[in-house]
Structure 1
Amino acid sequence: MTANTTYPDNITALYARLSQEDALDGESNSIANQKKILQKAAKDKGYTDTIFFVDDGITGTTMKRPGFQKMIAAIEAGYISAVFVKDLSRLGRNYIEVGKLTEEFFPLHDVRLVAVSDGVDSDEGEDDFTPFKNIMNEYYAKDISKKRRIVNKMKGNAGIPLSPPPYGYIKNLEDPRFWVIDPEAAEVVRCIYRLALEGNGPLQIATALGTMGGAEPLGLSNQQGRL
């Protein structure tokens, strides 16, 4: 991997990551809050030449994150001398991959790692609890994923849709969790089915809808090629 951007030598990387699940924790885990924490921590340790690498809305269970990959490329190119993160879970929630970073990759490239909230600083010696923290971070991600599947299954069993309403339906104004038929769009859907049952193909159906004058007001003019 090579860096696509040229950075100054000995720059300090401030890496912030937020997944959709982390966002539920509120302001404490927000990207803006992470940036404030990282800038202060870097300044306190004498690092002023810094650059942010950010992944917003991306889970830590994958290491294929654009901002993270750019940071790794910059490290491999020799530009980065230190990496600051709010906590180890920002690096990722994969125990094996994060372990490779902290125990092999960063030391190999002579990069100082500081995880502010976890009290980890590689220049101050090894933290015996770091592997356990990585394990718990991975467990957290798996637990969240398991709970989400359970919640989705319960919603499905209760008849609650798990996706946005398709064409022909709209959200129920009285209870947005459920769908109700959109009368105007539903008539177009019924018309499409009638035309299809009569043996018409997609092009003929699109032409017929346009001829009937229903395409434009119902927003179908841009969808004719997909009908």
Structure 2
Amino acid sequence: MQSKNKNQIGITALYCRLSRDDGTESESNSIGNQKKLLSQKAKEMGLTDTKYYVDDGYTGTNFNRPGFQQLIDDIEIGLVSAVMVKDLSRLGRDYVSVGNYTDSYFPEHNVRFIAVNDAIDSDEGESEIAPFKNILNEMYARDISKKIRSSHRLRGSMAEPLSQPPYGYMKSPENKKMDN
């Protein structure tokens, strides 16, 4: 996970991702907090030419995300010299793919990788803990998925609706869990 040249010229990509929004019409609070953290850290590190790449409402279990794909396109044309994320889980929750990007793709493209809260900076050498964090991030995604499916099965077996009532129906005033 080591980049080849510490004195690169190019933008620092500040990548933010959140799986689900927090119910706001505009940018989610978590994305806003990630942006603040990353811009502050970039400034502290002297990385002033920055650009945000954002995927708000996209899962980390695959990399078919518009903001991430734009980031890859910009790396391919040589615009990006560093990628900064809040932590490894923001890059993704697929152990193999995250490892491929951090250990192969970024170094091959001379891109520095920084995960702020995980204290990972490819310019400081290999991170021995990164592979374990990636495995835990993937396991978390699998675990939460199982819990959600289990919860839906339980609610369904208790005849509770699993979604909003269809058009033309409304929730029962006496029992909010049933439709009219």
TM-score by length of 1: 0.71
Counterpart-to-counterpart distance in 2, 1:33 and 1:119: 18
Q: Secondary structure at the match of 1:171?
A: coil
Match of 1:109 in 2: 109
Percentage of pairs with the same residue: 57
Map of 1:122 onto structure 2: 122
Write the distance in 2 (CA, Å) between the matches of 1:148 and 1:117: 27
User: How far does the alpha carbon of each residue in 1:148-191 deviate from its partner, in whole angstroms, 9 at most, with x for none?
Assistant: 000000000110111221134211234433211xxxxxxxxxxx
For 1:118, give the aligned amino acid.
Answer: D
Q: Distance in 1 between matches of 2:172 and 2:138?
A: 38
What amino acid does structure 1 have at the position aligned with 2:88?
A: L
More deviation in 136-145 or 29-38? 29-38
1:156 aligns to what SS in structure 2? helix
Alignment partners' CA distance in 1, 2:175 and 2:30: 30
Partner of residue 33, structure 2: 33
Match of 1:159 in 2: 159
Residue by residue over 1:113-155, the C-alpha shift from the partner in whole angstroms, topping out at 9 and shown as x without a partner, is 1100101000001010100000000000000100000000000
Q: Which residue of 2 aligns with 1:177?
A: 177
Q: What is the match of residue 142 of structure 1? A: 142
What's the offset of the Cα at 1:90? 0.5
Which of the pair has the greater relative contact order for Cα pairs under 8 Å at 6+ separation?
2
Please, what TM-score do these two structures have when normalized by structure 2?
A: 0.88
Gaps of 5+ in 1: 1-8, 181-227
Amino acid at match of 1:152: H
1:55 aligns with 2:52: no
Distance 1:59 1:140 in 2: 12
Q: How well do the aligned residues superpose, as a CA RMSD in angstroms?
A: 1.6
CA shift in 2, pair 1:127/1:86, >3 Å:
same
Q: Is 1:94 aligned with 2:101?
A: no
| 1:192-222: CA deviation from partner (whole Å, max 9, x where unpaired) | xxxxxxxxxxxxxxxxxxxxxxxxxxxxxxx
Counting only pairs closer than 5 Å after superposition, residues 7-22 of structure 1 correspond to structure 2 as 10-20=10-20
Aligned residues: 167
Distance 1:101 1:77, change over 3 A: same
Match of 1:189 in 2: none
| Distance verdict in 2 for CA 1:42–1:158, change over 3 Å | same
Q: Could you list the runs of 5+ residues in structure 2 that have no partner in the other structure?
A: 1-8, 24-28
